[in-house]
């Protein structure tokens, strides 16, 4: 029996330290969690320390029936952590621990065999602060099928916000996803974005990087998708925001699921993704129970 083609989720798995407790997180892993909940086979590729926090992450993954076959276990590096502070409106700021297990994602022959048959890979910019991870991602990219989606989820978290690296990686992406502030930084080197400029930013990114699909999120305003030269926009809807952590990752998972399955039009896919992200913003943490 043929094994289903997985979506590889390359990057950080960590614990978000929130005022209300500890929650599993990390952007590529969050995307994988939601894809899994939506019925899409996934394989996280990350690093976890051999410590109590790592043991609990493994227990959660197994309870969710998410494979750990692509996880590198490190005895000498701790499991990653992020201290997140949320403002009154639910927006978060982050303090990210350096030199942790997900900075050293090693690619085994078993992972190579998965990559050869992969349907897509989701990778973020944060984990690529590590030269080891950049080499590992290059190795995966070389063996993946030409028709596999390369989904680049930009997360500019100072000081891990190398714009030249982001521009370079965007050139290999099938789908580029970032928020409006990040898009303004990448395109214009601007510290602030101008509401209403999302389409212009998306078209500039697509032209500059040669990326066929560009998605720009704009928080409560909504989100836009440039797909094959056509711009689609979906207004946000009001929700009672608990915290925004992981809302963009849930949005991306739902959008990618529709694009892979081709079960809705781009505009319908975007609307569905917005509703999914809004739901997660109304929950605690990035991986709420379905």
What is residue 243's predicted lDDT score, i.e. its pLDDT? 86
The domain tally of the chain equals 1
Contact between 276 and 54 (Cβ < 8 Å): no
In a domain, 179, yes or no: yes
As a whole number of angstroms, the distance between CA 123 and CA 127 comes to: 8
In a domain, 190, yes or no: yes
Q: What confidence tens digit (pLDDT) does each residue in 120-174 have? A: 999 999 999 999 999 999 999 999 999 999 999 999 988 889 999 999 999 999 9
Question: What is the band of 1 on the pLDDT scale with cuts at 50, 70, 90?
Answer: very low
Q: What confidence tens digit (pLDDT) does each residue in 77-96 have? A: 999 999 977 777 666 678 89
In a domain, 76, yes or no: yes
Which domain, by its residues, includes 194?
A: 7-281
In a domain, 195, yes or no: yes
Q: Could you give the count of Cα atoms lying within 13 Å of 61 in the half-sphere of its Cβ?
A: 25
In a domain, 239, yes or no: yes
In a domain, 275, yes or no: yes
Q: Is 230 exposed, middle or buried (0-12, 13-18, 19+ CB in 10 A)?
A: exposed
How many beta carbons lie within 10 A of that of residue 23, not counting itself?
A: 22
pTM attached to this predicted model: 0.94
CA dist 10 → 116, 136, 177 (Å): 15, 9, 15
Beta bridge partners of 179: 217
- We report the CATH number of the domain holding residue 236 as 3.40.1190.20
In a domain, 166, yes or no: yes
In a domain, 182, yes or no: yes
């Amino acid at each position: 029996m043929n094994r289903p083609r997985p979506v590889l989720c390359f990057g950080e798995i960590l614990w978000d330290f929130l005022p209300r407790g500890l929650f599993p997180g990390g952007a590529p892993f969050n995307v994988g969690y939601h894809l899994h909940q939506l019925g899409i086979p996934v394989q996280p590729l990350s690093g976890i320390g051999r410590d109590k926090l790592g043991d609990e992450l493994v227990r959660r993954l197994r309870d969710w029936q998410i494979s750990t076959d692509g996880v590198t276990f490190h005895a000498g590096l701790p499991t990653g952590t992020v201290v997140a502070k949320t403002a009154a409106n639910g927006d978060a700021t982050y303090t990210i621990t350096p030199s942790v297990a997900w900075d050293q994602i090693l690619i085994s022959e078993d992972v190579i065999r998965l990559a050869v048959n992969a349907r897509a890979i989701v990778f973020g910019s944060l984990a690529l602060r590590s030269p080891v991870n950049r080499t590992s991602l290059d190795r995966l990219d070389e063996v993946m099928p030409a028709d596999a989606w390369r989904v680049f989820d930009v997360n500019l978290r100072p000081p891990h916000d190398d714009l030249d690296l982001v521009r370079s990686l965007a050139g290999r992406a099938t789908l580029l996803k970032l928020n409006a502030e990040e898009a303004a930084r990448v395109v214009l080197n601007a510290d602030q974005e101008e509401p209403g400029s999302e389409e212009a930013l998306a078209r500039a990114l697509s032209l500059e990087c040669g990326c066929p699909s560009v998605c720009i999120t704009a928080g409560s305003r909504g989100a836009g998708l440039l797909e094959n030269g056509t711009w689609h926009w979906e207004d946000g809807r009001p929700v009672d925001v608990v915290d925004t952590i992981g809302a963009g990752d849930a949005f991306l998972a739902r959008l990618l699921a529709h694009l892979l399955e081709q079960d809705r039009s781009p505009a319908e896919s975007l609307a569905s993704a917005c509703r999914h992200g809004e739901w997660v913003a109304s929950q605690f943490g990035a991986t709420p129970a379905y």
